[in-house]
Amino acid sequence: MISDKMTAELNIQLNKEFYSAYLYLGMSTWCADVGYNGSAHWFMSQYEEERAHALKVYKYMLDQGGKIELLTIEQPEIKYDSLLQCFEDSLHHEQMMTESFNELCDLALNQKDHASYGFFQWFVEEQIEEEASVGEIIAKLKLVGDGNGIFMIDNQLASRSDTESA
């Protein structure tokens, strides 16, 4: 069983995970609207992954006897000036999620909640992959600038499988 404080923080994290999914759905929509179909696919895969992360938190809370509260999901801003900006916003969001899991780890350690700490380690590792993947895309986009290379990168992003980690 987890503490009331951990339950409250996990409910906030659950909301953040669903917001992440919603954010990536919005990014996919923006990309599709402006013709970056490969990036739209990449962000749709990211949406599915984030939704799965939310359900992982949900199941953990159920298994630990935590009371789940479904909080309001904030509407994300989905207006971008460029594909680069879209991915930079994605990286910024992933860095905020990393910080959120780091704070949850700190709370778990402070409460000597070893089960939760162990659970969070999967997400800590996942965040390393998330940031690295988006960082690599950003580096490529910066390398090609505003030229036709963007379309080559966009085409490569279409090859992401739905089960592939970001």
pLDDT digits (tens, 9 = 90+) for 78-134: 999 999 999 999 999 999 999 999 999 999 999 999 999 999 999 999 999 999 999
Q: Where do we find the tokens 């923006």? A: 30
CATH code assigned at 122: 1.20.1260.10
Domain presence at residue 165: no
Helix, strand, coil content of the chain in percent (nearest 5) = 75, 0, 25
3-class DSSP state of 75? coil
Q: Which residue segment(s) compose the domain that 68 sits in?
A: 4-157
Q: Looking at the 3D structure of the chain, how many domains does it have?
A: 1
Domain presence at residue 166: no
Give the model's confidence band at 162: pLDDT under 50 very low, under 70 low, under 90 confident, else very high.
low
Domain presence at residue 89: yes
Residue 152 has a CB neighbour count (10 Å cut-off) of 13
| d(C-alpha 39, C-alpha 151), whole Å | 10
Domain presence at residue 18: yes
pLDDT of residue 148: 83
Domain presence at residue 112: yes
